[in-house]
Amino acid sequence: MTAPPSLRHNLLHTLAGPTALLLLAGGAIAYGTAKTVVNRAYDQNLLNLAHGVATHVRPVPDGLALGLSPEAVVMLRTDTEDEIFFRVRDEQGRYLGGDADLPQLDEIDELSALPVPYQPLGEEAAATAVRPPSTKPIFRDLQHHGQALRAVRLYRKLERKGVYVTVGETLDKRREAMDRLLLGFVSAGALLLLAAAVAARFGIPSGLAPLERLAGSLRKRSGSDLSPIDPATVPDEIGELVAALNVLFGRLREFSAQQREFLQDAAHQLRTPLAGLQMELELLESKPLDDEARSRLRQSVGRITRLANQLLALARAEAGGRVVETSTPVAVDGLIDDMVEGWLRIADQRDIDLGIHRRPVVVAGDPTLLQELIANLMDNALKYTAPGGRVTLRCAGSENEVELSVTDDGPGIPEAVRERVFERFYRHPGARASGSGLGLSIAREIVRSHGGSIVIETPADGRGTQVRVRLPRQNDAGR
């Protein structure tokens, strides 16, 4: 089975993807912005050259002429990296100077096309209409003698005559600038990635240090140290985890206290019967043929056996969380039928009128514990009912629950102590019969572990005691 990844690896994997994506997106945006800025700067320089050439165009009697000296042409074309090309023509398309074979941008842009005269119809003496050229500089990428150029076309008006100036240059400076920018962005991205890796390498362990300190503190604890963790010593992000641990520690402390109390009570309750059993054995050794001694010994063994069984049943009932996991359909009426013979024998011996009214019902639970529940209730009723009295067991079911009730006409339990009689080893002062005080404690724990309720009531006739148990019912259609 593959071990789950550590929290550190999960954080690294979670952060790596978004960080790399943000770096790539940020680098692409920055590169695109820088490219636009560089191109605009070089385009502006190109436009400045075009304006400079246009300032050397002069009107002449037959049109326009370019008065650019050879020295000025050399200065215009001087560049340490790129080649400069230019071409000047008038509105009629006549070449005025520069590179005659430089492509014309107006062939690409319709708005920059040469003006086309509008021919009048018939004898109408309308003025010639022309489409005005664009006065906005036009930038284009061109191919000239196998080289890529960036060019600008500028239109200017001189004494009602128009002139077109086209200036282009190769792209070496632009490419070098973009290469440097790209190298800078890649270097910056690499440094940022390195910084992120260093931060992750040292920052994540630093952030997880409180968890490691908490783990170390828990490892150093003894098995009996269930004290709560101080929330002020941990970050807020794991405050809920610490709160959950404190709740768990509280439950374990409560369970541990219950276990210690149970063991102390059990030891106390077993001490007296065991001492009595030892005394009976010593008496039997001195009088091996004494039938009365053997009878008392059998009674002592029976009491100890009954007490031990009750202690085991109580321990099992208090661990009732497992009942839900291992529950099976249990026919309560069948459990009653299995124990009726023993109750009848006790009732006959004590001249008690025993009545049993049960209907077929099914609950989900542990059959052994449910049998112990019914047995304890009936044992208490038969024990505390005087000879000639009456005990009645009823078992019935409704749509959602099963109800068990055991009623006797004994001395009853005062209302003031009805809650206390569910405590372990408690016997109220008015009790006449002997017992360990565990029967009702066991009954309550069994009922709780099955999700039910148990109450002590006064019967309708006002005499004796009635113990009523309600348990969730299971559909017994398939039974």
Per-residue pLDDT of 392-446, as tens digits, reads: 999 998 888 999 999 999 888 888 888 888 877 666 655 555 555 677 888 888 8
Average pLDDT estimate for 219-236? 81
Task: Return the residue matching tokens 């208090």.
Answer: 318
DSSP state of 128: P
Provide the 3-class DSSP secondary structure of residue 289: coil
User: pLDDT confidence of 239, banded at 50, 70, 90?
Assistant: confident
Is residue 150 over pLDDT 60? yes
The one-letter amino acid code at 283 reads L
Q: Could you give the percent of the chain with pLDDT greater than 90?
A: 20
User: pLDDT confidence of 263, banded at 50, 70, 90?
Assistant: low
| Residues 337, 414 contacting (CB under 8 angstroms) | no
Is residue 113 over pLDDT 60? no
Token representation of residue 351: 């001249």
pLDDT in tens, 22-61: 878 888 888 888 888 889 999 999 999 999 999 999 988 8
Distances from the Cα of 218 to the Cα of 224, 242, 328, angstroms = 12, 11, 39
Q: Does the global pTM surpass 0.85? A: no
Ramachandran assignment for 159, one of left (phi > 0), alpha (psi -120 to 50 degrees), beta (any other): left
Say what the pLDDT of residue 479 is. 42
What lies within 8 Å, CB to CB, of 129 at 6+ separation is 117, 118
Average pLDDT estimate for 296-309? 70
DSSP state of 391: E
On average, the pLDDT of the chain sits at 80
Is it true that domain 240-318 has CATH number 3.30.300.30? Answer: no
Say what the pLDDT of residue 257 is. 76
| 240-318 and 324-472 share one fold | no
Is residue 114 over pLDDT 60? no
| Residues 470, 402 contacting (CB under 8 angstroms) | yes
Say what the pLDDT of residue 313 is. 65
Q: Could you give the percent of the chain with pLDDT greater than 70?
A: 80
Q: From 3.20.20.70, 3.30.565.10, 3.40.50.10540, 3.30.450.20, which CATH number describes the 324-472 domain?
A: 3.30.565.10
| 379 backbone dihedrals φ, ψ, rounded to 5° | -60, -45
Say what the pLDDT of residue 125 is. 40
- The domain ranges of the chain are 1-114+132-219, 240-318, 324-472
Is residue 3 over pLDDT 90? no
CA distance from start to end of the chain: 42
| Residues 343, 378 contacting (CB under 8 angstroms) | yes
Instruction: Output 257 or 142, whichever has higher pLDDT.
Output: 142
| Residues 128, 137 contacting (CB under 8 angstroms) | no
Say what the pLDDT of residue 467 is. 93
Residue 140 and residue 151: Cα distance in Å, rounded?
Answer: 5
Residue 385 and residue 340: Cα distance in Å, rounded?
Answer: 17
